[in-house]
Structures are given as C-alpha cells and as structure tokens.
Amino acid sequence: MILIFLLGDLLVILAHIFWRDEIGFFDIDKEGNLTSLYTGAKLWIVATLALLHGAIITRLHVPRRIIAAWLLFALGLAYIGLDDMMGIHERIGFVLNNILGAGGFHGESFNWLFYFAPAMLAALVVFGIIITTLWRDNRRAAGMLLGGVILWMGSLDIEFWGRALITRPTIPVSFYHKLIIAEEGLELLGATLIFAALWHATQKIIREHVEIKKT
C-alpha cells in the first residue's frame, strides 16, 4: 500500500507537469483536481486507521486524554481529506474576506492561511500528543508521523512564500509554478508518510492486542 501511494504521488506530479495545459483536471493549482480527489481519499483511509487504532486502545486502560487525542486526530484527518476535495478553506476564506473587507487584491485567496492559523496550531498540539504516545511503543511509526507533519509544515511555508510572490507588482511566473509543484509534492508525500505511520502502528497494535478467533 505504501509503495502504491508513493507511485500515485509521483504520477500525480508527472500528470501535472506534462498534461496540465491539455487536461485541466491534472492541474494541481486548480480546485477539484486529481490531486484533491487522490489526497482526500488517502486521508480518509488514514482517518479510518486512526479511528480503528483509537477504538482498540479504549480497551487497554489508556488515559482518556489520549483516547480523545486519537479521536480528534481521526476527525481532523477526515476533515482535511474533505477539505482537499472541496476547497472548503478557500471558500470560507472568501466569505471572511467579504465580511472583513480583506479582499480585492490578487493574493486574497491566500488569506485562509491567517484565518485558519488557530486551527493549525491546535492540530499541531494533537499531532504532538499522538507522536509522543507512539514514541513509547512504536518509534518507527512515530518517526514517520513526525516526518509527515514536518513535510506538511513545509508545504504551508511554501504556500506563505507563494502568497508573498503573487502579491508582488511583478510576479515571477515560472518560479511560482515551480513552487506550486514543490508545495503539492510535499503535501502528497507528507500524507503518504502519515498513512505509513498509521498503517504500521495499527498493524502492530492489532497483532499485540486483538485476538482473532478462528471458526
């Protein structure tokens, strides 16, 4: 599964590079594209694994705050997957732009980065709890999850950089398009690492704590 997702990540980027002009669905800079559908589906799978992991640890006398963190982790991943498919963050961003009078310039679609900053910080807290919890029993999974989160943070940093470029009087178009590939590539690979972490962690906890009865 991990290799399949890595291959999928590569194919999505290659499709953008070679066919974005002919087929807009392959353009990773557009809403409702192949990347949105692919990443959303991937994150729903990861959310399901996180929910399964959380359900198993409820039987292991784990503190409630850890169980709550796993539930929030699963729900957060499910939301991010839905958001990837539907562009909810940008739609909300435009609504808030109109309410706050913060629109009317070329980079207004990037304002969601500021509106969603509190949610991003809360997500980092949840990620931190999950990584710390995994580190005690499954350092491999914890390391992969940490790597995925770092890649996602890198993707957001590049998006902030893209906002700065797009608001310049003269936009370096060629360089901006390269940044888009780097941003989406980090997001794709980050999601794959998070999947790998959850896949490994869930397999391990099932082997150790779930008894499968043979009929």
Tell me the average pLDDT across 77-90. 90
What is the maximum span of the chain, computed from C-alpha positions, in angstroms?
71
Tell me the average pLDDT across 56-73. 90
Q: Is residue 156 part of a domain?
A: yes
- Identify residue 188 by its one-letter amino acid code: L
Tell me the average pLDDT across 102-110. 75
Q: Is residue 60 part of a domain?
A: yes
Q: Is residue 188 part of a domain?
A: yes
Alpha helices in 87-172 (DSSP H): 88-100, 112-115, 117-137, 139-166
Q: For tokens 């999947």, what's the residue?
A: 195
- For residue 84, the enclosing domain spans 37-209
Q: Is residue 8 part of a domain?
A: no
| C-alpha–C-alpha distance, residues 134 and 145, integer Å | 9
pLDDT above 60 (res 76): yes
Q: Is residue 171 part of a domain?
A: yes
* Sequence-separated (6 or more) residues with CB below 8 Å from residue 134: 141, 142, 145, 197, 201
pLDDT above 80 (res 92): yes
Q: Is residue 14 part of a domain?
A: no
Q: Is residue 63 part of a domain?
A: yes
- Identify residue 177 by its one-letter amino acid code: H
pLDDT above 80 (res 20): yes
Chain-centroid distance, C-alpha 149: 8
Q: Is residue 102 part of a domain?
A: yes
| C-alpha–C-alpha distance, residues 8 and 195, integer Å | 13
Tally the domains of the chain.
Answer: 1
Higher pLDDT, 2 or 187: 187
